């Protein structure tokens, strides 16, 4: 078996997508001696602000994608809604990691649930709602009706209690292809973030305990104060997903924990994840550095927790309180450089790190 080719420091990493995940990836890559070239359709890119270069182009412009790909050594993506065709176009010129399969699965909620089932990963009961007949046959009530595509941070979904509210929600969602997921006996949400390298080696970051507000992740706490068996199951599901996808890079798996300790997968994202931002300040290797290591064929880094922490998203105007966070010795502030705040927009995050117990130094 041939040894996977290492892409050494000094090479250039291409990033499809220009948001905060690409920004933090570019910063981590620079520390290891890599250049990053960002590709996105936006006039301005906060990832491009910190990268070696920025290419503005549409995701359906195959000529522009080809020119971009020829300037880099390996390509990754910072969000899972990059069109599959754009990834395929780049693959004609350079390796794209994690590749096509992970976004093919992640971009469609019904396909995602079916894939989980093939790996033995449990989920809530669900039913497709793609037409009038399936709407009439749906029985997973009460539940959450979600569009199969493009929903995130609570968008594209509605809680439904009975058939009347289900029918009304489907109308509000534009009678689009949907999935109806039954409500679970919810205790909490956790997430596993797994890295898998070119050689198949895998590392799972410690499981994060998540809390949401208005459909958006509010905090992630590590270590998670949950039973060892629950944490082990969450890690096992994350590792099974990375292996099943034959992924090179990162994948995050969000999971529900029920009152009786059952772990049920909710959704996946084949890229760095909001619930992994704590790793920048409180883990031996950040999720962003781990992504760079994985896609470049480097050894994966250790994932030991260096200090207990709680990551808090700064949404909208919350980021204007930056001076208070800077004055707090336990806070590690990260602002994303976005020009304007608006409700629901992630402007940054702050990680509160529990200081290590001070040690006495004797004098003689």
Q: Give the C-alpha separation, 232 to 183, whole Å.
A: 24
Reported residue count of the chain is 364
Predicted confidence band of residue 154 (pLDDT cuts 50, 70, 90): low
Whole-model pTM: value is 0.94
Q: Are 265 and 122 in contact (CB under 8 A)?
A: yes
User: What pLDDT is recorded for position 293?
Assistant: 98
For 185-207, the pLDDT digits (tens) are 999 999 999 999 999 999 999 99
Query: 316: which residues sit within 8 A by CB, 6+ positions away?
Result: 341, 342, 343, 344, 345, 347
Does the pLDDT at position 361 exceed 50? no
| Mean pLDDT across 339-349 | 94
pLDDT digits (tens, 9 = 90+) for 252-281: 999 999 999 999 999 999 999 999 999 999
- Nearest alpha carbon to residue 243 among 149, 126, 120: 120
Residue 319 token pair: 């980021």
What does the alpha-carbon distance between residue 37 and residue 90 come to, in Å, rounded to a whole number? 14
User: pLDDT exceeding 90 applies to what percent of the chain?
Assistant: 93
Answer whether 182's CB lies under 8 Å from 244's CB.
no
pLDDT at position 364 over 70: no
Q: Which two tokens stand for residue 335?
A: 């602002």
pLDDT bin (cut points 50, 70, 90) of residue 356 is low
Element (H, E) at 249: strand 249-258
- Closest by CA to 86, choosing from 66, 114, 113, 110, is 66
**What are the pLDDT digits (tens) for 285-326?**
999 999 999 999 999 999 999 999 999 999 999 999 999 999
Q: Find out whether 72 and 37 touch, Cβ atoms under 8 Å.
A: yes
Residue 4 has pLDDT above 70, yes or no: no
* Low-confidence winner among 176-180, 298-302, 352-356 (lowest mean pLDDT): 352-356
Q: What is the DSSP letter of 61?
A: -
Tokens linked to 274: 């909001």
pLDDT of residue 150: 79
Q: What's the rounded Cα separation, in Å, for the pair 78 and 242?
A: 17
Q: For the chain, list the domains and their CATH numbers.
A: 12-96 (3.40.50.20), 125-182 (3.30.1490.20), 186-353 (3.30.470.20)
Mean pLDDT calculated for residue range 117-142: 95
Q: Look at residue 152 in the predicted model and tell me its pLDDT.
A: 66
Average pLDDT over residues 90-119: 97
Return the pLDDT at 82.
Answer: 95
Share the mean pLDDT of the chain: 94
What does the alpha-carbon distance between residue 285 and residue 300 come to, in Å, rounded to a whole number? Answer: 9
**Residue pointed to by tokens 């794209």:** 96
What letter would DSSP give residue 97? S
User: Quick check: 358 pLDDT over 50?
Assistant: no
The whole-angstrom separation of Cα 283 and Cα 222 is 10
Give me the torsion for CA of 275, 281, 286, 292, rounded to 10°.
Answer: 110
Residue 357 has pLDDT above 70, yes or no: no
pLDDT band of residue 359 (cuts 50, 70, 90) is very low
């Amino acid at each position: 078996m041939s040894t996977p080719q290492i892409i050494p420091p000094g090479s250039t990493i291409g990033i499809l997508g220009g948001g905060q995940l690409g920004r933090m990836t570019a910063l981590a890559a620079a520390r290891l001696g890599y250049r990053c070239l960002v590709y996105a359709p936006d006039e301005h890119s906060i990832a491009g602000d910190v990268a070696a270069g920025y290419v503005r182009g549409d995701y359906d412009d195959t000529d522009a994608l080809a020119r971009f790909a020829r300037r880099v050594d390996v390509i990754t993506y910072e969000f899972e809604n990059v069109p599959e065709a754009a990834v395929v176009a780049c693959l004609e010129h350079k390796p794209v990691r994690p590749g096509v399969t992970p976004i093919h699965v992640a971009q469609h909620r019904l396909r995602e649930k079916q894939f989980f089932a093939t790996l033995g990963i449990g989920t809530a009961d669900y039913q497709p709602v793609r037409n009038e007949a399936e709407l009439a046959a749906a029985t997973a009530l009460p539940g959450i009706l979600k569009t199969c595509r493009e929903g995130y941070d609570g968008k594209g979904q509605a809680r439904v209690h009975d058939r009347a509210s289900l029918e009304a929600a489907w109308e509000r969602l534009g009678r689009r292809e949907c999935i109806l997921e039954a409500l679970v006996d919810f205790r909490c949400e956790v997430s596993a973030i797994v890295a898998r390298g070119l050689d198949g080696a895998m590392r799972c970051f410690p499981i994060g305990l998540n809390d949401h507000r208005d459909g958006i992740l509010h905090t992630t706490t590590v270590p998670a104060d949950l039973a060892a068996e629950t944490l082990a199951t969450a890690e096992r599901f994350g590792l099974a997903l990375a292996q099943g996808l034959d992924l090179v890079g990162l994948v995050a798996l969000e999971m529900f924990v029920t009152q009786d300790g059952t772990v049920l997968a909710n959704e996946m994202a084949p890229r760095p994840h909001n619930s992994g931002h704590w790793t920048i300040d409180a883990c031996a290797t950040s999720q962003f550095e781990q992504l760079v290591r994985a896609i470049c064929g480097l050894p994966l880094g250790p994932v030991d927790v260096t200090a207990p922490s709680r990551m808090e998203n700064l949404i909208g105007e919350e980021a204007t309180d930056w001076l208070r966070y800077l004055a707090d010795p336990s806070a590690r502030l990260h602002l994303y450089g976005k020009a304007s705040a608006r409700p629901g927009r992630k402007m940054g995050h702050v990680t509160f790190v529990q200081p290590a117990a001070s040690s006495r130094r004797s004098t003689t």
